[in-house]
Chains A and B, each alone.
Chain A
């Protein structure tokens, strides 16, 4: 079974600085998807960014980018120019290709604090 590990339970960053959140996963599959979700205090899970394993190019969404290292099974999230609104729990998630939903595996989360 696939597992997702986030080794940093908590992180903090100064406003306007850059922070990187780590995620590693374990799988024997070659085709899959990886995601970062953000959960602010409002509790709603918000999709931040997604990456297809077959794509070598790292995904980017505005201030958010990933460093996807398939061989190392690593999928880190970089947040540039951090803003107060970035403060949240961040969950890394893995999804097998094929069936939806039931193949999502979430990591334990990293709580990010943004310091003014």
Chain B
């Protein structure tokens, strides 16, 4: 499976600020995904990021709040903008493995907004 690295691993942020999470994959992948996991909850898909096109956002998530970049086949960023305490979550990057019909995850970025 691909090795997926996320930065930062953890951060404490002031409300009203923005933070960009980076996701680096050790191989080229077509589709990358960003998930949010609120405290004690399951995973919710934020958006799908394909290289060379605009990200596709799920219901309840908008580009102004969660802008995503996908400049190449091994890298993506997710920005959490104008943060509030409700944005305190684990944000997970994942990539598809088309040969196994599954997705693999990075280590996650644990954001706490104070």
Tell me the bound Cα distance from A110 to B31 in angstroms. 28
Interface residue SS majority, chain B: strand
Among B80-105, those with CB < 8 Å from A are 90, 92, 94, 96, 98, 100-105
CB-defined contacts of B41 to chain A, threshold 8 Å: 108
Nearest CB in chain B to that of A35: its residue: B102
Interface size on B, residues (CB 8 A): 25
* Chain B hits for A104, CB < 8 A: 45, 103
What 0/1 pattern do residues 83 to 105 of A give for CB contact below 8 A with B?
A: 00000000100010100111010
Known: A101-B33, A101-B96. A108 touches B42 (CB 8 A): yes
Which A-B residue pairs are the 8 nearest by beta carbons?
Answer: A45-B105, A43-B108, A100-B96, A101-B33, A44-B107, A106-B43, A106-B42, A108-B42
Residues of B within 8 A of A (CB): 1, 31, 33, 41-43, 45, 48, 56, 58, 90, 92, 94, 96, 98, 100-108, 110
The answer on a CB contact under 8 Å between A43 and B58 is no
Partner of A42 from B98, B104, B107 at Cβ < 8 Å: B107
